[in-house]
Amino acid sequence: MQIKILHNQTLLDISIYLFGTAIGAMSLAIANDISLTDDLEVGTVLQVPENTDFGQRLIAEYFQNKGLKPATGITTIEKEIETPSGIDYWAIEVDFVVQ
């Protein structure tokens, strides 16, 4: 069996969708020769290992029957953050010099 990666999906998401638990992520990583923490490319096809049952079939069936495909990957949003200033944020001998 194979599964195609969607936007922002991780191995944990795929594992929950297929097996009903995150435990299967390691089996997916080994079967596809990738790391658990790799960022997955959209459209990549992963091989799903055969004979994998982690005892959570009802959860997997719930996700599959409802058409729920978890996608919890974090994308980086670059945003300029202003550093607070003023007497509330000053540190003695760093921003505020005592003379």
Residue-wise pLDDT for 7-27, tens only, equals 999 999 999 999 999 999 999
Per the domain annotation, does 92 fall within a domain? no
pTM over 0.75: no
**Residue 45 CA, distance from chain mean position:** 17
Q: 14-45 burial, b for 16+ CB within 10 Å, e for fewer?
A: bbbbbbbbbebbebbbeebeeeeeeebeeeee
Provide the domain count of the chain. Answer: 1
Domain residue limits at 62: 2-66
**9 neighbors 45 (Cβ within 8 angstroms):** no
Per the domain annotation, does 42 fall within a domain? yes
Q: Is 19 helix (H, G, I), strand (E, B) or coil?
A: helix
Low-confidence ranges of the chain (pLDDT < 70): 75-79
Per the domain annotation, does 37 fall within a domain? yes
Side-chain half-sphere exposure of 82, counting CA atoms within 13 A: 3
